[in-house]
Amino acid sequence: MRMRPTLSWTPSAGLPPATTDPAPVVEALRAGGVLVLSGAGISTESGIPDYRGEGGSLSRHTPMTYQDFTAGPQARRRYWARSHLGWKTFRRARPNAGHRAVAAFGRGRLLSGVITQNVDGLHQAAGSEDVVELHGGLDRVVCLSCETFVSRGEVARRLEEANPGFEPVAATVNPDGDADLTDEQVGDFRVVPCAVCGGVLKPDVVFFGETVPAARVEHCRELIDGATSLLVLGSSLTVMSGLRFVRQAAGAGKPVFIVNREPTRGDDRAVTRISLPLGQALGTVAGLLGIAVEDTEAAARPGGGEGCVSA
């Protein structure tokens, strides 16, 4: 039986209303030492849908879980067929104004770091450095047997060779890069094994039902300890993966600021929530700080693709 990801939570009563005034975020950034925690909502303006916002994919789509993926070849065939098709669309996504603003804040030495729950590589493509990918990255694939890593581009090339003419039309592409295909469209899609040992290949991302590596979590906790404040961008904080860092920051007396159109599970720990589109909000913040946001991409695009993660 497939494990259903957490879809929603019940907002606490008595929360203060959200604001559209970005002044608190401006002042926090001006003071420096801000740690950014981003979620799927920062990438929606790049054409990547989110999970739980209005029209979010979890209302119609159950991502592949780690348990299903490792259970048998048929599930992996379905997964790789759908994600291989989704990769072609997903990898073309480009950083938006929100990603570029975060990169500009970093260049201005206003940030202590960036933790992202996303696996799309768009923060790095916009120029942010030393980004912690909480749920892994789509630009690499790992063998579950010998733990060899290989680029997603290389795996995509091998899948193309193994499945010539595989070009079904997907109804939609989900935020995990998984294209919606019927079993008939998946057909007898051929999955390629590890080129080193013949083992099972899996994108180096944290699937639903899988845990974030302990060392990565500890590194993020250390970043929280070293920050002066936490700025959450585009995350509903529905699952503990990101919420734990909000709770840690608030528990240590560090102010938490949230920019998200809809209420989040962390609102009760936040100084304020700003309800504005992220690109607009962060562009306004950058203007008030006198920081130029470059409308260009970094020279190297890490890539994009699939992965079943929570944000």
Which CATH number do you get for residue 178?
3.40.50.1220
Task: Domain of residue 48: give its range.
Answer: 23-289
Q: What distance in Å separates the CA atoms of residue 287 and residue 29, rounded to the nearest whole number?
A: 12
On whether 66 is known to bind a ligand per the annotation, the reply is no
In this structure, is residue 253 part of a structural domain? yes
pLDDT of residue 2: 40
Cα-flanking dihedrals φ and ψ of residue 10, to 5°? -100, 115
pLDDT of residue 4: 46
In this structure, is residue 62 part of a structural domain? yes
pLDDT of residue 183: 81
Q: What distance in Å separates the CA atoms of residue 34 and residue 106, rounded to the nearest whole number?
A: 10
In this structure, is residue 193 part of a structural domain? yes
In this structure, is residue 167 part of a structural domain? yes
pLDDT of residue 147: 96
In this structure, is residue 3 part of a structural domain? no
On whether 52 is known to bind a ligand per the annotation, the reply is yes
222-227: which pairs have CB atoms within 8 A and are 24 or more residues apart? Answer: 223/35, 223/112, 223/113, 223/115, 223/132, 224/35, 224/248, 224/249, 224/252, 224/254, 225/252, 226/33, 226/35, 226/112, 227/33, 227/34, 227/35, 227/112, 227/113, 227/254
On whether 49 is known to bind a ligand per the annotation, the reply is yes
pLDDT of residue 294: 81
* pLDDT tens-place string over residues 84-120: 888 877 788 899 999 999 999 999 999 999 999 998 9
On whether 218 is known to bind a ligand per the annotation, the reply is no
* pLDDT tens-place string over residues 213-228: 999 999 999 999 999 9
On whether 79 is known to bind a ligand per the annotation, the reply is no
Q: What distance in Å separates the CA atoms of residue 275 and residue 163, rounded to the nearest whole number?
A: 45
In this structure, is residue 205 part of a structural domain? yes
On whether 43 is known to bind a ligand per the annotation, the reply is yes
| Residue 222 tokens, joined | 């250390």
- Residue keyed to tokens 């909502």: 41
Question: How many domains does one find in the chain?
Answer: 1
3-state class of 116 per DSSP? strand
pLDDT of residue 49: 77
C-alpha torsion angle, residues 44, 309, 3, 263 (rounded to 10)? -50
In this structure, is residue 104 part of a structural domain? yes
- Residue keyed to tokens 């599970």: 265
Residues of the chain with pLDDT under 50: 1-5, 7, 52, 55-60, 298-311
Q: What distance in Å separates the CA atoms of residue 84 and residue 156, rounded to the nearest whole number?
A: 7
On whether 27 is known to bind a ligand per the annotation, the reply is no
On whether 119 is known to bind a ligand per the annotation, the reply is yes
Q: What distance in Å separates the CA atoms of residue 311 and residue 60, rounded to the nearest whole number?
A: 17
On whether 290 is known to bind a ligand per the annotation, the reply is no
On whether 117 is known to bind a ligand per the annotation, the reply is yes
CB 126 within 8 A of CB 297: yes
Active site residues: 135
pLDDT of residue 246: 98
In this structure, is residue 310 part of a structural domain? no
